[in-house]
């Protein structure tokens, strides 16, 4: 299981463009194989990672994740291929449906039939990211065209898939999933088997399973979980994440976090590797003075121990 870092999902990191570039350079220098950026209500993650790609040389850069509804699949393919060219082949596009409260209540799109929306979206987006033309006629999208982006190579496509239909669809039409608020038991019993059903039907190799988790090294476990719970409270209220927490038998986002000393965190990551997670993405939680730096150094040490 590879170890990467996530920015933008938890508090603490410098969220300016300069700050993100500096973070990416530091992560690359420390040997982390990947850096993933949440796309919420601030900087655009695809554009930001294009800039980061020009300032780094080796680290994989991915979105975690970009909502599909506000962007036509042809437009997001053009963005992704441009970022792939800018980063010299190190970009992975993570996309997701987002949530009804955002898509319908805030943005005014219909959130009806989300799985059908995603099937059509991937049917257009997938070929374009592979450098192919597309001819597609569906209910939501009717697209005929191709893109030619100089310097762009194939872009890996990941979908934030949590439900059974979405998992099968992702296994069939994408390269893997990227999750949040999803624990080891649910990974092993639900996420990985659901993806496998799709890859088997499509005759494809096993999917990539990227799992994002809040994490912090601390001796003050109860206090840390309380702060994480307050910082991430919204995630426990969104239906798709709430369903994953319920599957895991957890009360809220604080309980999904890896919190404790180095030994406890190693055990937690080992459980995730055993469950089939291929990439552990650490969203370092800032809960007390020194906790961010301490956790970063712990993870860097784990990288060294795995070489």
In three-state form (DSSP H/G/I as H, E/B as E, the rest C), the secondary structure along the chain is CEEEEEECCCCCCCCCHHHHHHHHHHHHHHCCCEEEECCCCCCCHHHHHHHHHHHCCCCEEEECCEECCCCCHHHHHHHHHHHHHHCCCCEEEEEECCCHHHHHHHCCCCCCCHHHHHHHHHHHHHHHHCCCCEEEECCCCEEEECCCCCCCCCCEEEECCCCHHHHHHHHHHCCEEEEECCCHHHHHHHHHHHHHHHHHHHCCCCCEEEEEEEEEECCCHHHHHHHHHHHCHHHHCCHHHHHHHHHHCCCCHHHHCEEECHHHHHHHHHHHHHHCCCEEEEEECCCCCCHHHHHHHHHHHHHHHHC
Residue 14 pLDDT: 82
Residue 12 has pLDDT above 80, yes or no: no
- Mean pLDDT (the chain) is 96
Topology of the domain comprising 2-306: TIM Barrel (3.20.20)
- Arithmetic mean of pLDDT, 122-140: 98
Residue ranges covered by each domain of the chain: 2-306
Residue 72 pLDDT: 98
> Mind listing the pLDDT tens digit for each residue in 211-267?
999 999 999 999 999 999 999 999 999 999 999 999 999 999 999 999 999 999 999
Q: How confident is the model at residue 8 (pLDDT cuts 50, 70, 90)?
A: confident
Please state the pTM of the whole predicted model: 0.96
- Arithmetic mean of pLDDT, 144-155: 98
């Amino acid at each position: 299981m590879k170890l990467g870092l996530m920015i933008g999902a938890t508090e603490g990191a410098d969220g300016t463009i300069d700050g993100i570039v500096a973070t990416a350079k530091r992560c690359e220098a420390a040997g982390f194989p990947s850096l993933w950026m949440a796309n919420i209500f601030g900087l655009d993650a695809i554009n930001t990672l294009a800039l980061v790609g020009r300032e780094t040389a080796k680290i994989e850069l991915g979105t975690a994740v970009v909502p599909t509804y506000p962007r036509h699949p042809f437009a997001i393919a053009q963005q992704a291929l441009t970022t792939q060219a800018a980063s010299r082949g190190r970009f992975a596009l993570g996309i997701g449906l987002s949530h009804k409260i955002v898509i319908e209540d805030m943005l005014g799109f219909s959130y009806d039939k989300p799985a059908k929306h995603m099937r059509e979206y991937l049917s257009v987006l997938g070929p374009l990211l592979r450098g192919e033309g597309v001819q597609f006629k569906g209910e939501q999208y009717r697209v005929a065209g191709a893109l030619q982006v100089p310097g762009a190579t194939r872009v890996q496509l990941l979908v934030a898939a949590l439900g059974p239909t979405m998992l099968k669809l992702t296994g069939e039409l994408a390269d893997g999933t990227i999750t949040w608020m999803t624990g080891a038991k649910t990974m092993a019993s639900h996420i990985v088997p659901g993806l496998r059903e799709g890859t088997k039907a499509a005759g494809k190799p096993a999917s990539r399973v990227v799992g994002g988790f809040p994490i912090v090294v601390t001796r003050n476990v109860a206090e840390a979980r309380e702060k994480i719970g307050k910082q991430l409270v919204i995630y426990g209220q969104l239906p798709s994440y709430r369903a994953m927490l319920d599957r895991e038998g957890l009360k809220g986002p604080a309980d999904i976090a890896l919190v404790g000393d180095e030994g406890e965190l190693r055990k937690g990551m080992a459980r995730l590797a055993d469950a089939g997670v291929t990439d552990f993405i650490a969203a370092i939680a800032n809960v007390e003075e020194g906790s961010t730096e301490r956790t970063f150094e712990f993870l860097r040490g784990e990288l060294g121990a795995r070489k």
